[in-house]
């Protein structure tokens, strides 16, 4: 980062600040090398020009997602970009292909759900917003495409989020490489579940992090050839063993100790555990619990994770027993013994913990005590046992605890690796490295030394990778470049690991000498590296040394280096635990080989760690690396706090600033030709006025500015450090001159405008004065004219008044005279009227008196006549009274009649009771018979064969005397009784369906007994029908034999002793009591006596095979016919109508077994095998929906009605059924035609059929095929428009070529190209609409298709808008809005009948685009946005759009900061209330309708007038298709 140039007055720059690291300001004065700056906080500072950096005032308000796009790639620019993005909850940022992840310290579940993983799957790197999933996907795609192993290195300090980032990486790799349908736990599940196990035993709370990994972890995920996870391995590095015994406040020990103390009470009692405060290894710190973490729940979760990774229940018990033993071991305390330098157990409490430890480890308590306080020294002469003082005994105790825990952790890692399994055939891996970051504390020991040594190694690898990427970028752009120097840290690595003479080598050497101490080791370091530039000695310390690492200088305390470096187990400890009776504990300490125990070869932690690290580096060097740098924004571990100094320190430690320095050593500023011309085209407008290529235009601008050392590649301009600032200074100068010119012009315009306004005011004043004079003259003339008019009107008034007086007097006189005449006339009329009234009253009185006299005379006459008639009637009554004997006789007759009726009623009741008793007896007999039949199964088989042979012989002998006796119905009660018995037998047979064979034999036996009684002929025939029902459920090979047996049995039962034959069957009409046919239709059932013809016996025994073959031929012809495209007739699919008519005519819906349904389904399945043929799919969609509609209105599930005598209809599939069906279709039985006499008309006329299981199954299969075909058409359309949708969401780059002259033509072409993408979508929609219209697909289904398609378009466009910042711009919103207009026009063209509510499905993208293109966004309130502009969008979605928005056309800003803050508060509340915070939409691929919806929405289908296809038109078997309605 070279010193900036071209700093002038008015320049915006960055200045160093001790509190904020960097602060921006404006230059207001320059004095040589001194710069006077006005800071944004109001202060003024003076600094050197070499210590300031230019600020990009045109940087996007939301920052850039890739910091290589920054105009000024320097430290303050990087810090400002990260701070801006972090404020918007954008925690991920790229620096080239390096991902920087800032810990948000809050849950952001919407960033890591399955839908988000689906979005990043297969997406190009950099196409979507920065994300950890993008890095994982790049590694996975590179492995699949190039076949090379990849690695992802996650680094950062404690609390930066390395562990969580690693989890997300492994989740994504498990998502893209997972396997489905694998029994048990898959590899990816075990790898993911190994995280909580390793965290429980390897993570602890530190000062900076509540879940800090105290070990390094490298996970190798192995993949097979198809990209599926086939194995995995976990490697761990340098577990911090000292933490087991020593912790500081406010840290915690490893999680497993606290989890075990919070386990259920029975577990704690078993291990004799209690409060963590009672254990020495835990109570050294006051922190026992973590905020938001329930240790009891975590214990159960850890146990579940152990189950998944393959640790058995016994092994889990052993593990936690060892953990409990370590806790108890820490409470063993020693006191001084009686002898010098000896020690003993301090008290009974320590003795209790010692015994408990021995009990848990299953070893001898005395041996454990001796191993802690004694040491055995073997000399050539003797074996010497010496005791340890209390301090040494405590050291021995802690050493044992650390050794046990270290071995336990290594065992868990090995167990996980064994359980997961490794794939030896795997050719490629993806390694995820979760390693500790650079550490520098107040006191740094051996662990920090090893950690920083690791980071030095990784930093060297990182620098080489960054340098390599720089070279690849230059090579890709084909520019001339020379070797770029960068600072290498090889000298630090040599200082640490070089042999001989490195720090690790000197440490091993010191550990080999018993008398070496940390002071002698430190002095050796001082002597050896006194002149080394990276090694320094602190002034006031004798055991400390400092190393200058790449991230800064770190001072180490050498006090415990020797103890922590020794990697050996005390022989007493080894022997004690090897002899443990617990196999698990003994397995942790296997006996050492004799040669190794005798060998004196020294082993150290440092050397072993160096070898592990070298192995890791070899693995990383053999893979393609990807880097994720995790950053902790603050030390308070709280969200929304961004501490600049802390971030800068971590960026230095993570090597990010070093990578930027390497970039600055070459060409730190890179701009595409379009971006360069857009920014610096004002420097040479004459270049842009022509139509030269962008590359030549950029070259001309740079040459004009006189810059040297730049490079122009194939697509970008590469500028040296400082050249961007120089160009910006020239640009600012040009813009300044332009601003002055604009100011001059505007001032001229304002002055001229003022002059014109004054001149117009003077003219207006003159006009007003002239107007006033004219008004005065006019007023004088007006007054003169008014005086003349007043005089005229006064004279007129005087004359009118005189005339009015004279006229009024004349009228008054005339009125008086006329009133006198009227009074006289009134008086005369009144007198005349009174006279008339008097006369009328008199005449009325006279006539009324005459009427009253006549009425009185009539009443007198009537009373006399009535008296006379009454006397005559009295005489007659007296004569009738003498005849009472006749009345008494009539009464006796009536009483006798009543008694007779009463007797008859009692008799009828008695008969009914007897009938019921008879029924019960018959039922009991039949049940007993069925029970006996089950016992005599084998005997019944033999009887069937004998009966068949006897029947044949009887027929041959009795041929001359065969006669069919008509059935005479004599006793109604008997017939009812037999009918009831028949129904009971049918119910019994249905209940015994699972033993059909036994029931059949039982029925044959019962029939053999009943055949001897001719009076029970109908009962026997009923049992034959039941036998036919059972036979149809037997194996196919027995059906023909049983049908023939029924024919012979019927012929044997119809023999008559008269010796004559009847020419045909006798048919009787059924009554409702004996099983009536609905609507009075006559029917020949299987219980009707079959006529035996007088022809030859060969003609009487029609073979069943011929009937089967005929039916099979008809089915074959139907299948062959519907396999063709039969087209449509009157908008109705011919195939569906023909299938329905045939199935209904053949009565296939009512049979228990048929193959025609399966053959139809297979035909449909074979027709839609070609999924891309939309014509065929639409054709069968129309047929399937129509046929399903017909079935929905025809079929009804058979319930209790299936047990009634109507069940006999199903016998049409047997021999008798087919023969009777032939009779129905014959001319002689015209009165019995059931189907031929019924013509199918409208859907309302379709009769309801009791469907059997095959028909109902066929309906379900047809429904499934309808849904499948619908889904195939919908998915085909999705596949067709998906590639175009990716082009529709963002306008092509060329469409924003420039706003200068000469570019309008290219802009118009690009805009036309964009509309062409939308028009291709419209073309696809039209194509599918025409196809479905041509195949008469129901409009209901068409609407559903396009509704889901528009919903898919809405989801894809909206999600792309939220995931790609370059799409959230003003101009892009205009382009998308224009494209949506094309879709709206298509909806109008398609009409509501076919488009339905499809346009409403685009509500999310419509409102989002509407928000992008509105003006004055900062003035909009949150209420206006949520209630008026975007009521459908959630707060998360609005926040995402608002923060990602940028105006590339007018340079306006997004909504105000207050609105952003309100949105953030609402999002926080939603997350606290467990509301889903995902801002992405999900595509609904379900079937959005049911069979009932189709039935309700489709119109009635007229199937009567469908013309049969040519293939079956002339076939006699399909003659029923030719019938028409009247």
899-934 pLDDT, tens per residue?
Answer: 888 888 888 888 878 888 887 887 888 878 777 767
| pTM of this structure | 0.61
Residue 446: count other Cβ atoms within 10 Å of its Cβ: 24
Q: What are 262-283's pLDDT values in tens digits?
A: 999 999 999 999 899 999 999 9
Annotated catalytic, 163? Answer: yes
Q: Which of 1236, 1207, 1206 is nearest to 1221 (CA)?
A: 1236
pLDDT attached to residue 313: 93
Rounded CA-CA distance 636/638 in Å is 5
Per-residue pLDDT at 1359 exceeds 90: no
Q: What are 539-586's pLDDT values in tens digits?
A: 888 889 999 988 888 999 988 888 888 776 777 888 888 888 999 999
Give the pLDDT mean for 432-441.
82
- Residue 296's pLDDT band (cuts 50, 70, 90): very high
pLDDT attached to residue 670: 75
pLDDT attached to residue 1029: 56
Catalytic residue, candidates 63, 156, 159, 202: 159
Annotated catalytic, 209? Answer: yes
Give the pLDDT mean for 1013-1021.
58
Q: What is the DSSP string of 1210-1263?
A: GGGGSHHHHHHHHHHHSGGGGGG-SSTT----SGGGPPPEEE-HHHHHHHHHHH
The three-point CA angle 1493-1499-1503 to 5° equals: 120
Annotated catalytic, 159? Answer: yes
Beta bridge partners of 604: 566
Q: Which of 1340, 1174, 1350, 1149 is nearest to 1262 (CA)?
A: 1149
Give the pLDDT mean for 1515-1524.
73
Catalytic residue, candidates 93, 129, 151, 158: 158
pLDDT attached to residue 790: 93
Catalytic residue, candidates 11, 129, 151, 163: 163
Cβ neighbours of residue 840 closer than 8 Å, sequence gap 6 or more = none
Annotated catalytic, 439? Answer: yes
pLDDT attached to residue 1292: 53
The structure tokens listed for 798 are 């005087």
Cβ neighbours of residue 330 closer than 8 Å, sequence gap 6 or more = 245, 279, 280, 281, 397, 398, 401
Catalytic residue, candidates 188, 439, 447, 1021: 439
Q: Rounded to an integer, what is the distance from CA 728 to the centroid of its chain?
A: 49
Going by DSSP bridges, is the β-strand pair 216-223/428-434 parallel, antiparallel, or unpaired? antiparallel
Annotated catalytic, 437? Answer: yes
Per-residue pLDDT at 517 exceeds 80: yes
Q: What are 813-867's pLDDT values in tens digits?
A: 999 899 999 999 998 999 899 999 999 989 899 899 999 888 888 988 999 898 8
pLDDT attached to residue 1009: 66
Q: Which of 1374, 1371, 1511 is nearest to 1447 (CA)?
A: 1371
pLDDT attached to residue 619: 86
pLDDT attached to residue 1485: 80
pLDDT attached to residue 1297: 39
Per-residue pLDDT at 756 exceeds 90: yes
Residue of 1265 and 435 predicted with greater confidence: 1265
Per-residue pLDDT at 1070 exceeds 60: no
Coil/strand/helix, residue 547: strand
Catalytic residue, candidates 210, 213, 489, 1154: 213
The three-point CA angle 1385-1390-1395 to 5° equals: 100
User: How much of the chain, in percent, has pLDDT values that exceed 70?
Assistant: 81
Catalytic residue, candidates 11, 186, 209, 979: 209
Cα distances (angstroms) measured from residue 1261 to each of 93, 1162, 1244, 1264: 53, 10, 24, 5
Give the pLDDT mean for 588-599.
64
The structure tokens listed for 635 are 């030390």
pLDDT attached to residue 554: 92
Give the pLDDT mean for 741-768.
94
pLDDT attached to residue 264: 93
Per-residue pLDDT at 427 exceeds 50: yes
pLDDT attached to residue 1460: 84
Helix%, strand%, coil% for the chain, nearest 5? 60, 10, 30
Q: What are 329-356's pLDDT values in tens digits?
A: 999 999 988 887 788 898 899 999 999 9
Catalytic residue, candidates 62, 77, 202, 437: 437
pLDDT attached to residue 768: 94
Q: What are the backbone angles phi and psi of residue 528, rounded to the nearest 5°?
A: -75, -40
The three-point CA angle 388-390-392 to 5° equals: 55
Least trusted range by pLDDT, from 225-239, 380-394, 869-883, 1095-1109 = 1095-1109
Q: Rounded to an integer, what is the distance from CA 788 to the centroid of its chain?
A: 98
pLDDT attached to residue 1118: 86
Per-residue pLDDT at 598 exceeds 70: no
Per-residue pLDDT at 288 exceeds 80: yes
User: DSSP H helical segments within 1335-1446, as ranges?
Assistant: 1339-1363, 1370-1395, 1403-1413, 1422-1424, 1435-1444
pLDDT attached to residue 1290: 66
Per-residue pLDDT at 1439 exceeds 80: yes
User: How much of the chain, in percent, has pLDDT values that exceed 90?
Assistant: 21
Catalytic residue, candidates 89, 195, 210, 212: 212
- Residue 241's pLDDT band (cuts 50, 70, 90): confident
Per-residue pLDDT at 486 exceeds 70: no
Give the pLDDT mean for 718-724.
77
Coil/strand/helix, residue 214: coil
Annotated catalytic, 900? Answer: no
User: Token match 């059909």: residue?
Assistant: 996
Q: What are the backbone angles phi and psi of residue 625, rounded to the nearest 5°?
A: -85, 150
Q: What average pLDDT is seen over the chain?
A: 79
Q: Which of 475, 119, 470, 72 is nearest to 1358 (CA)?
A: 119
Q: What are 1440-1492's pLDDT values in tens digits?
A: 888 888 777 777 778 888 888 888 888 777 765 545 556 788 888 888 888 88
Q: What are 365-374's pLDDT values in tens digits?
A: 899 998 888 8
Annotated catalytic, 1043? Answer: no
Per-residue pLDDT at 970 exceeds 50: no
Residue of 807 and 1452 predicted with greater confidence: 807
Per-residue pLDDT at 1015 exceeds 70: no
Secondary structure string (H, E, C) spanning 481-506: CCCCCCCCCHHHHHHHHCCCCCHHHH
Q: What are 1139-1183's pLDDT values in tens digits?
A: 888 888 888 888 888 888 888 988 888 888 877 788 889 999 999
Per-residue pLDDT at 487 exceeds 80: no
Most confident region among 3-7, 292-296, 561-565 by mean pLDDT: 292-296
Q: Which of 1240, 1218, 1252, 1237 is nearest to 1084 (CA)?
A: 1218
Give the pLDDT mean for 203-210.
84
């Amino acid at each position: 980062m070279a010193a900036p140039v071209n700093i002038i007055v008015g320049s915006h720059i960055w200045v160093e600040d001790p509190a904020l690291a960097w602060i921006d300001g404006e230059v207001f004065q320059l004095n040589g090398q001194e710069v006077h700056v006005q800071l944004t906080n109001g202060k003024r500072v003076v600094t050197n020009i070499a210590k300031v950096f230019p600020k990009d005032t045109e940087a996007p308000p939301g920052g850039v997602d890739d910091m290589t796009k920054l105009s000024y790639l320097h430290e303050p620019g990087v810090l400002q970009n990260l701070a801006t993005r972090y404020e918007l909850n954008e925690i991920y940022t790229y620096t080239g292909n390096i991902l920087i992840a800032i810990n948000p310290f809050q849950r952001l579940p919407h960033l890591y759900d399955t839908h988000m993983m689906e979005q990043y799957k297969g997406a190009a790197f950099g196409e979507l917003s920065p994300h950890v999933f993008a890095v994982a996907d790049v590694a996975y795609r590179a492995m699949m495409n190039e076949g090379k192993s990849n690695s992802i290195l996650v680094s950062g300090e404690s609390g930066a989020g390395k562990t969580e980032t690693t989890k997300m990486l492994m989740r994504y790799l498990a998502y893209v490489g997972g396997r489905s349908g694998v029994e048990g736990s898959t590899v990816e599940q075990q790898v993911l579940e190994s995280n909580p196990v390793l965290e429980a035993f390897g993570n602890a709370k530190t000062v900076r992090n509540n879940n800090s990994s105290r070990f390094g972890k490298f996970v190798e995920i192995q993949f097979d050839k198809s990209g599926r996870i086939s194995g995995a391995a976990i490697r761990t590095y340098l577990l911090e063993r000292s933490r087991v015994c020593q912790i500081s406040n406010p840290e915690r020990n490893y999680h497993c100790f606290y989890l075990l103390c919070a386990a259920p009470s029975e577990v704690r009692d078993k291990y004799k555990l209690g409060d963590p405060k009672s254990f020495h290894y835990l109570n050294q710190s006051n922190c026992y619990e973590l905020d938001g973490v329930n240790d009891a729940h975590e214990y159960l979760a850890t146990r579940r994770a152990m189950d998944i990774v393959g640790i058995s229940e016994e092994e889990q018990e052993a593990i936690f027993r060892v953990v409990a033993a370590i806790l108890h071991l820490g409470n063993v305390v020693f006191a001084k013994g009686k002898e010098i330098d000896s020690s003993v157990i301090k008290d009974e409490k320590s003795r209790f913990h010692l015994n408990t430890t021995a009990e848990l480890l299953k070893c001898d308590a005395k041996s454990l005590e001796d191993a802690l306080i004694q040491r055995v020294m073997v000399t050539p002469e003797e074996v010497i046992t010496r005791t340890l003082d209390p301090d040494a005994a405590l050291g021995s105790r802690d050493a044992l605890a650390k050794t046990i825990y270290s071995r336990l952790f290594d065992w868990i890692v090995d167990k996980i690796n064994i359980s997961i399994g490794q794939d030896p055939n795997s050719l490629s891996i993806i390694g995820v490295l979760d390693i500790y970051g650079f550490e520098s504390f107040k006191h740094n020991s051996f662990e920090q030394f090893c950690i920083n040594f690791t980071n030095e190694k990784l930093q060297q690898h990182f620098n080489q990778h960054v340098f390599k990427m720089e070279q690849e970028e230059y090579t890709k752009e084909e520019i001339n470049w020379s070797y770029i120097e960068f600072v290498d840290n090889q000298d630090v690595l040599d200082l640490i690991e070089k042999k001989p003479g490195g720090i690790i080598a000197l440490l091993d050497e010191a550990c080999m000498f018993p008398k070496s101490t940390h002071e002698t080791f430190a002095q050796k370091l001082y002597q050896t590296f006194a002149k080394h530039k990276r090694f320094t000695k602190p002034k006031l310390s004798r055991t400390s040394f400092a190393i200058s690492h790449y991230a800064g200088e770190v001072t180490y305390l050498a006090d415990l280096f020797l103890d922590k470096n020794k990697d050996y187990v005390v022989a007493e400890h080894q022997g004690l635990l090897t002899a443990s009776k617990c196999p698990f504990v003994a397995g942790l300490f296997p006996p050492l080989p004799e040669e190794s125990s005798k060998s004196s070869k020294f082993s150290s932690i440092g050397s072993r760690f160096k070898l592990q690290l070298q192995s890791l580096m070899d693995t990383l060097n053999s893979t393609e690396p990807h880097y994720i740098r995790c950053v902790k924004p603050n030390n308070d571990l709280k969200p929304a706090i961004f501490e600049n100094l802390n971030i800068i320190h971590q960026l230095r430690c993570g090597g990010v600033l070093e990578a930027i320095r390497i970039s600055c050593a070459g060409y730190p500023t890179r701009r595409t030709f379009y971006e360069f011309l857009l920014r610096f085209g004002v420097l040479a407008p004459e270049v842009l006025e022509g139509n030269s290529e962008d590359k030549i235009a950029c070259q001309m601008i740079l040459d004009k500015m006189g810059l040297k050392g730049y490079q122009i590649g194939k697509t970008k301009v590469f500028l040296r450090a400082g050249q961007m600032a120089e160009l910006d200074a020239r640009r600012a100068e040009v813009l300044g001159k332009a601003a002055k010119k604009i100011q001059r012009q505007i001032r001229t315009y304002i002055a001229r405008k003022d002059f014109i306004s004054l001149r117009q005011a003077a003219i207006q004043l003159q006009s007003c004065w002239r107007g006033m004079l004219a008004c005065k003259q006019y007023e004088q003339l007006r007054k003169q004219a008014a005086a003349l008019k007043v005089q005229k009107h006064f004279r007129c008034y005087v004359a009118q008044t005189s005339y009015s007086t004279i006229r009024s007097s004349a009228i008054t006189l005339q009125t008086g005279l006329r009133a006198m005449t009227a009074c006289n006339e009134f008086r005369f009329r009144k007198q005349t009227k009174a006279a008339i009234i008097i006369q009328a009253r008199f005449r009325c009185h006279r006539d009324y008196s005459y009427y009253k006299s006549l009425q009185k005379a009539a009443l007198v006459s009537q009373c006399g006549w009535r008296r006379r008639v009454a006397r005559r009637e009295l005489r007659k009554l007296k004569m009738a009274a003498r005849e009472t004997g006749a009345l008494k006789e009539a009464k006796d007759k009536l009483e006798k009649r009543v008694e007779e009726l009463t007797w008859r009623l009692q008799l009828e009741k008695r008969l009914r009771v007897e009938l019921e008793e008879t029924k019960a007896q018959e039922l009991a007999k039949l049940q007993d018979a069925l029970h006996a039949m089950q016992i005599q199964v084998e005997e019944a088989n033999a009887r069937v064969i004998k009966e068949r042979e006897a029947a044949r012989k009887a027929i041959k002998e009795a041929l001359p005397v065969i006669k069919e006796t008509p059935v005479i119905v004599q006793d109604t009660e008997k017939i009812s009784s037999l009918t009831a018995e028949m129904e009971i037998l049918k119910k019994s047979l249905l209940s015994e369906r699972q033993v059909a064979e036994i029931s059949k034999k039982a029925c044959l036996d019962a029939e053999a007994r009943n055949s001897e009684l001719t009076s029970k002929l109908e009962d026997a025939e009923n049992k034959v029908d039941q036998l036919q029902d059972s036979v149809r459920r037997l194996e196919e090979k027995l059906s023909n034999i049983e049908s023939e047996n029924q024919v012979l049995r019927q012929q044997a039962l119809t023999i008559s002793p008269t010796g004559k034959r009847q020419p045909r069957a006798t048919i009787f009409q059924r009554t409702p009591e004996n099983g009536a046919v609905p609507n009075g239709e006559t029917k020949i059932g299987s219980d009707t006596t079959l006529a035996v013809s007088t022809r030859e016996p060969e003609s009487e025994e029609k073979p069943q095979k011929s009937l089967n073959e005929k039916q099979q031929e008809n089915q074959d012809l139907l299948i062959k016919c519907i396999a063709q495209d039969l087209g449509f007739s009157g908008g109705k699919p011919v195939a569906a109508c023909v299938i329905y008519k045939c199935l209904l005519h053949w009565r296939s819906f009512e049979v228990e077994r048929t193959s025609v349904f399966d053959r139809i389904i297979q035909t449909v399945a074979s027709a839609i095998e070609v999924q891309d043929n939309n014509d065929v799919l639409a054709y069968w969609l129309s047929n399937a929906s129509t046929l399903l509609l017909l079935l929905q209105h025809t079929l009804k599930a058979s319930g209790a009605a299936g047990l009634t005598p109507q069940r006999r209809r199903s016998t049409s599939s047997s021999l008798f059924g087919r023969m009777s069906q032939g009779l129905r279709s014959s001319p002689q039985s015209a009165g019995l035609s059931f189907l031929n006499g019924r013509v199918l008309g409208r859907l309302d006329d379709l009769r309801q059929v009791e469907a059997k299981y095959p028909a109902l199954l066929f309906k379900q299969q047809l429904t499934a095929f309808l849904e499948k075909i619908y889904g195939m058409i919908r998915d085909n359309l999705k596949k067709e428009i998906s590639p175009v949708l990716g082009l529709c969401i963002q306008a092509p780059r060329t469409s924003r070529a420039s706003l200068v002259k000469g570019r309008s033509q290219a802009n118009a072409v690009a805009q036309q190209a964009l509309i062409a993408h939308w028009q291709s979508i419209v073309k696809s929609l039209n194509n599918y609409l025409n196809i479905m219209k041509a195949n008469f697909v129901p409009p209901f289904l068409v609407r559903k298709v396009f509704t889901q398609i528009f919903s898919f378009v809405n989801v894809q466009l909206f999600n792309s808008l939220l995931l790609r910042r370059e799409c959230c711009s003003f101009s892009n919103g205009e382009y998308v809005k224009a494209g949506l207009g094309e879709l709206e026009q298509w909806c109008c063209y398609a009409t509501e009948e076919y488009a339905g509510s499809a346009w409403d499905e685009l509500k999310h993208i419509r409102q989002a685009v509407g928000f992008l293109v509105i003006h004055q966004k900062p003035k909009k309130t949150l209420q206006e946005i949520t209630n008026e502009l975007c009521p459908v969008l959630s707060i998360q979605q609005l926040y995402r759009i608002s923060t990602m928005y940028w105006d590339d056309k007018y340079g306006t800003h997004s909504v105000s900061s207050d609105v952003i803050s309100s949105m953030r508060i609402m999002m926080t509340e939603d997350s606290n209330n467990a509301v889903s915070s995902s801002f992405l939409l999900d595509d609904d691929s379900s079937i959005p309708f049911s069979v009932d919806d189709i039935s309700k929405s489709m119109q009635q289908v007229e199937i009567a007038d469908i013309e049969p296809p040519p293939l079956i038109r002339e076939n006699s078997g399909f003659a029923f298709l030719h019938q028409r309605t009247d």
